[in-house]
Amino acid sequence: MNLESIIFDLGIIIIGAAVLGTLFLYARQPIIIAYIAVGIAAGPSGFGLIRTTQHIEQISHLGVILLLFLIGLNLQPDRLIRLFKQTSLLTVFTSFSFGLISTFFGILIGFDVNSALIFGAAMMFSSTVIGLKLIPTTTLHHKRTGEIMTSVLLFQDILAILVILFITGDTSDNIWITFVVLIAKLTALCLLAFLGVRYVMTPLLQKFDVIQEYTFVATLAWCLLWAEAAFKLGLSYELGAFVAGISIGSCIAAQAIAEHLKPLREFFLILFFFAVGAALNFSLDTRLLLAAILFGILLVPFKAWLFRIAFNRAGESSKLSTELAARLAQSSEFSLLIVFSALSMGVLSSDSAMVIQIATIVSFIISTYWVVLKHPTTIAGDSALRQD
Identify the structural domains of the chain with CATH numbers, from first to last: 57-374 (1.20.1530.20)
Given this model, what pLDDT does residue 380 score?
63
Q: 96 exposed, middle or buried (CB, 10 Å; 0-12, 13-18, 19+)? A: middle
Tell me the β-bridge partners of 377: 386
Nearest to 155 by CA among 80, 101, 74: 80
| CA atoms of 352 and 339, how far apart (whole Å) | 9
Given this model, what pLDDT does residue 296 score?
93
Given this model, what pLDDT does residue 101 score?
95
| CA atoms of 378 and 61, how far apart (whole Å) | 22
**244 and 225 Cβ atoms separated by less than 8 Å:** yes
pTM: 0.77
Q: Is 321 left (phi over 0), alpha (psi -120 to 50) or beta?
A: alpha
Given this model, what pLDDT does residue 75 score?
67
CA atoms within 13 A on the CB side of 354: 17
**305 and 325 Cβ atoms separated by less than 8 Å:** yes
Using DSSP's 3-state secondary structure scheme, residue 255 falls into helix
φ and ψ at residue 53, rounded to 5 degrees: -115, 10
**175 and 165 Cβ atoms separated by less than 8 Å:** no
| CA atoms of 377 and 384, how far apart (whole Å) | 10
| CA atoms of 206 and 200, how far apart (whole Å) | 10
| CA atoms of 202 and 208, how far apart (whole Å) | 10
Q: 374 exposed, middle or buried (CB, 10 Å; 0-12, 13-18, 19+)? A: middle
Given this model, what pLDDT does residue 311 score?
93
Using DSSP's 3-state secondary structure scheme, residue 346 falls into coil
The low-confidence residues of the chain, meaning pLDDT below 70, are 1, 28, 74-77, 79, 137-142, 168-175, 210, 250, 252-255, 379-388
Using DSSP's 3-state secondary structure scheme, residue 386 falls into strand
| CA atoms of 32 and 215, how far apart (whole Å) | 30
Nearest to 14 by CA among 67, 65, 50: 50
Nearest to 360 by CA among 302, 303, 293: 293
**120 and 299 Cβ atoms separated by less than 8 Å:** no
- pLDDT one-digit tens code per residue, 272-320: 888 878 877 777 788 888 999 999 999 999 999 999 999 999 888 899 9
Helices within the chain (DSSP H only): 3-26, 31-42, 54-73, 77-108, 113-122, 128-133, 137-142, 144-168, 175-196, 202-208, 212-232, 237-248, 254-278, 286-313, 318-327, 333-344, 350-374
Given this model, what pLDDT does residue 297 score?
94
φ and ψ at residue 386, rounded to 5 degrees: -80, 115
Tell me the β-bridge partners of 386: 377
| CA atoms of 159 and 152, how far apart (whole Å) | 11
Given this model, what pLDDT does residue 266 score?
82
